[in-house]
Structure 1
Amino acid sequence: MAKLKIGVIDLVSKGPTNTLWAKVMHANLASIMPQVVATWCEQQGHEVTLICYTGQEDLQKELPRSVNLVFICSFTQAALLAYALSNYFRSQGVVTVLGGPHARCYPDDAVKYFDYVLGFTHQATVLEVLQNCSPQKPKGKHLSAARQPAHLPGVKERWKFIEPTLKKAPFLQMVPMLGSVGCPYTCSFCIDATVDYQPLNFEIIKEDLRFLLTKFKKPTIGWHDPNFGVRFEDNMEAIAAAAPLKSFRFFAESSLSILTEEHLKVMQRNGFDALLPGIESWYELGNKSRTARMVGEEKVKRISEHVNMMFRYVPYVQTNFVLGLDSDEGNEPFELTKRFVDLSPGAFPGYSLLSAFGEAAPLNLEYQRANRVLPFPFHFLNNHLAMNIKPQHYEWLDFYDKVIDLTAYTFSKKAIYQRFRANPTSTAKWMNLMRAVSSEGYGRLRFYRQVRKNLAEDKPFRQYFEGESQQLPAFYKNIIQKDLGVWWQWLPAGALEHNPNAYLHKKSPAAV
């Protein structure tokens, strides 16, 4: 195999951004798989350059030069930037490859704009691309393993690709680690709903933790597991075996069913400083929170007690909710969430609008069969900027009124003050204040109010939301053009549109 010059681009941001949140945190949101792919390519003897685009850099200057092959990793919200970059590189004769969540969710769209599109990616998958490094016309090639890999290069092997990105973080520098892939839960809207849970090698985890102690006095580690701690004793034993207690600071996303008080005591001893449990709904998904038989007010009280108990052991808690689930109806879901905000003032509530990401979950087939999925451009599919599923029990104006009311309540001066007072450490106080006044709180509230105004005053805008028109409102097109900047000229023809029912048509050709 000839030696190749390879570029790997990790798109954390979908365009330039100067928000406080982006400046502080985007470098800490680097994905693991681009680092893995870069490591595998280098192990095959190729010359590799990896860049992580956080929105702070001049992307034109950062791009790898004189390359034969480029891998791009993208979430769906950055897909249009990825498509534009692929078009730019292909115009120079470079072979392009897309990986990451967008490639898994929308492979049939992505193959229009890339030579290769990767689903589950093993070392053998990457090797196949390297050996057949040639343009694929008129349509790219979709490659996917049967399941996620059982082994991945650890932090020590990936370090040369991790370190430059961490240097972009001005304060907090969080090393990405992975202890498992897949998830034992089956939340119907989740990309991991049908992906078997499998732990990774605990000996590699121990080795990586010991290695990080040679780089930092007290490393901060962000676990990228979909649900950390399923093999709780094994995870804690690996951490405890690597170094004395509290040698590290850990952030992790987990479920309340795992975060029992006994487990939290162990996690406190091992240095866990931030936990992000998923609550999702007051009416369903109770297996994640040990409230399978509880709904409504009873569930709010029980979970609030649980979350407040967590603060005795960890200083930072974010609770995640999904708004607009089919089990939601009327005022109650939103009023219950406001009640939770009052009962657990220290927790930072993370709200997501229900979204269907292509082939991400089987539930998306049901939405497509019911003709409820809207063709919002990928640029807005990040769980916040657009809800691409027509609500089951709400009209759009009513839904946005309730979302705005809840968001305004959560980030009111009173709620911010109560959260500030309830947070036990200065770091937690500062983090939540920053998030509230930046793009997550005030910024999102401004955007929702503008969307609501457009729904009320602009008939074509409203028709797009109702599925009565396929004409993208200028409001959204202008945002895309502004965000892409110089890359707008490289956006391929047709990239603003996609078939929202492609998954259904693939599964049931007769539905076309």
Structure 2
Amino acid sequence: MLDRRGGHVVRIGILDLLGPPARRPVDLGYQLLITKQYASITPQAISVWCRRMGHETFYATYYGLGRPHRLLPADLDVVFISCYTQVSHLAYALAKLYRRAGVRTVIGGPHAKAFPVDCLRFFDLVVRECDPALVSDILAGQFDPGAVISAAQPFDDVPTVEERMPEIRSSAFFWGRKPLLLSAVPMLASMGCPYRCDFCIDWSSTYRPLPADRLSADLRYLGRHLPGRLIVFHDPNFAVKFDDVFETLEAQPPGERPPYIIESSLTVLRGDRPRRLKDTNCAMVAPGVESWTDYSNKAGVGRSGGAGKVERVAAHFAQLAENVPYLQANFMFGLDTDQGEEPVELTKRFMDLAPFAFPTINIPVPFGGTPLHDELAAGGRILEAMPFSFYYAPYLVTTIKHYDPVTYYEKLVELYAHAASPAMLRRRLTTTSNRIIGYVHRARTASFRADIRSFRRILSLLRSDPEFLAFHEGRTAALPEFYRHVSEQMLGRYAELLSLADRTPDLSPAGTHPRHLAIEKK
């Protein structure tokens, strides 16, 4: 059989790994209703590009329930897998299964961009940035196994919602047919980010707005075929070119404007812009506050820090709350600028002033290719034996500059306990009459309480097990048995496919590994 260009038809699988297998009862509902909606745009784009080329294409997402190796046919020619770092070991195990079956394996996504050298141990090809031409060359066999390849820049050809509807139905709808209560359509209005946050894998990207006519066409399609369906914009920082984007949103008839979710910076959402969010039916905003002592350029408070920054940021959130039904405030705790009681007390003060904003409190993670990773690696502060499965909360994979491990986890418990207290939940529920938002508040509070139990478990080990403490203080490189056991639990039936050596990361920078062959496609 031939494709549309006269070549052979290739059987292609595209698998988007959205989360690890559910292990706690509280995870089941959260992953079904919320994690399921995290489907990435690039895997959907690859599926569309391959379909345009006339190939036989199979697309699936895995959100923590079921067996991922059964989501795609066994007799594929090529499989593309996208994943975050925390589920990379699952991707590695699946790659072993596919390679045994003679399938060419390709990995992309955030983990491949951050740790390409480690990915080469399990995949034939590692893709850092892609576009249709690069995918076409992969399918034509232009690259030998063992290569890290990249398009010259991130793709601009974002397939329309109409083209991606088979993938959207598969990823977000119930059994691919009926939308769920929170079923969402992923979209992009821009690529890259103008900020240079040292912990973010987009720190060096160039901000580029995408064509307004494409956004307008997608909005019209949704208005006709999926009225009222939620949009999630995956832009790292939405509407930096605010007026240009919002003129397109405002051009839609008021009764046909779908609800949408964005991640943006407070400095963008100033002046009368919160009102324009309301007018265009914005359902959720997730600004990054990050720190009370750093990243103030994103918060729009100039050089303000400390208590003054808390008051100004809380007042800004209050203005947003008058116009947007659901708010999330993103924080980092454990940065080198954090020390003593102040960061904890200031964050708790913000929660009290803005109970309507659900906080996320992130542990700094040294993703490869970021200035944070390079700085911590140079200082010997990365726990190099820690498997990638633990590169997310509640786990700590570095030594913290101003807190010993016991004190750090004590303060995490204090922060999470304040955020998940019954009194705080009651205050949140009184700020909304929306039933769905009330459910999300309850679900996220339950997840926080489960995280507190995980923090306390680690804290107990730090207090009682000298070897466990020594590992977290960087005095020994021997991985504690606790992490070996948990990593096997995370992998479940796939654990037998990865040895302890397989689970030990290769943190070598891109370009330094003997099997690394970087190719940039112009």
Shorter chain as denominator, the TM-score bin is: over 0.9
- State which of 39, 62, 71 in structure 2 corresponds to 1:53: 62
Q: Distance in 2 between matches of 1:72 and 1:414?
A: 43
- State which of 465, 469, 473 in structure 2 corresponds to 1:466: 473
Q: CA deviation at 1:135?
A: 6.8
Q: How does 1:208-247 map to 2 (within 5 A)?
A: 208-244=218-254, 247=257
Q: CA deviation at 1:75?
A: 0.5
* Residue identity opposite 1:297 in structure 2: A
Aligned to 1:434: 443
Q: Gaps spanning 5+ residues in structure 2: where?
A: 1-6, 514-522
Q: How does 1:326-341 map to 2 (within 5 A)?
A: 326-341=336-351
Aligned to 1:101: 110
Q: Distance in 2 between matches of 1:272 and 1:50?
A: 29
The answer to whether the 8 Å contact 1:365/1:504 transfers is no
TM-score of the two chains, using structure 1 as the length reference? 0.94
- State which of 139, 142, 156 in structure 1 corresponds to 2:162: 156
Q: Gaps spanning 5+ residues in structure 1: where?
A: 507-512
Aligned to 1:308: 318
Q: Please tell me whether residue 26 in structure 1 is matched to residue 32 in structure 2.
A: no
Q: Please tell me whether residue 391 in structure 1 is matched to residue 391 in structure 2.
A: no
Q: Distance in 2 between matches of 1:411 and 1:92?
A: 47
C-alpha distance after superposition, 1:157-183 (max 9, x if no partner): 211111122213632111000111110
C-alpha distance after superposition, 1:202-256 (max 9, x if no partner): 1111111111123223121000000001111111122223443562101111111
Q: How does 1:9-88 map to 2 (within 5 A)?
A: 9-16=15-22, 18-88=27-97
Aligned to 1:510: none
The answer to whether the 8 Å contact 2:116/2:510 transfers is no
Aligned to 2:520: none
Q: CA deviation at 1:337?
A: 0.3
Q: Distance in 2 between matches of 1:372 and 1:338?
A: 28
Q: Please tell me whether residue 412 in structure 1 is matched to residue 418 in structure 2.
A: no
The change in CA–CA distance for 1:321 and 1:252 in structure 2 (over 3 A counts) is: same
Aligned to 1:320: 330
Q: Please tell me whether residue 7 in structure 1 is matched to residue 8 in structure 2.
A: no
* Residue identity opposite 2:157 in structure 1: H
- State which of 388, 391, 407 in structure 2 corresponds to 1:378: 388
Q: How does 1:98-497 map to 2 (within 5 A)?
A: 98-132=107-141, 136=145, 140-168=146-174, 170-244=180-254, 247-359=257-369, 361-375=370-384, 376-382=386-392, 384-437=393-446, 439=447, 441-491=448-498, 494-497=501-504
The change in CA–CA distance for 1:57 and 1:135 in structure 2 (over 3 A counts) is: farther
Deviates more, 1:266-275 or 1:13-22: 13-22
* Residue identity opposite 2:505 in structure 1: H
* Residue identity opposite 1:167 in structure 2: F
The change in CA–CA distance for 1:281 and 1:108 in structure 2 (over 3 A counts) is: same
* Residue identity opposite 1:10 in structure 2: D
The answer to whether the 8 Å contact 2:223/2:256 transfers is no
C-alpha distance after superposition, 1:289-338 (max 9, x if no partner): 11121110000011111111111101100000001011111010011000
State the superposition RMSD in angstroms.
1.7
Q: Distance in 2 between matches of 1:133 and 1:89?
A: 20
Q: Distance in 2 between matches of 1:37 and 1:71?
A: 9
Number of positions where the alignment pairs a residue of Structure 1 with one of Structure 2: 499
Q: Distance in 2 between matches of 1:252 and 1:127?
A: 32
Q: CA deviation at 1:379?
A: 0.7
SS at match of 1:225: coil
SS at match of 1:354: coil
Q: CA deviation at 1:463?
A: 1.7
Q: CA deviation at 1:133?
A: 6.8
SS at match of 2:501: coil
SS at match of 1:109: helix
The answer to whether the 8 Å contact 1:87/1:492 transfers is no
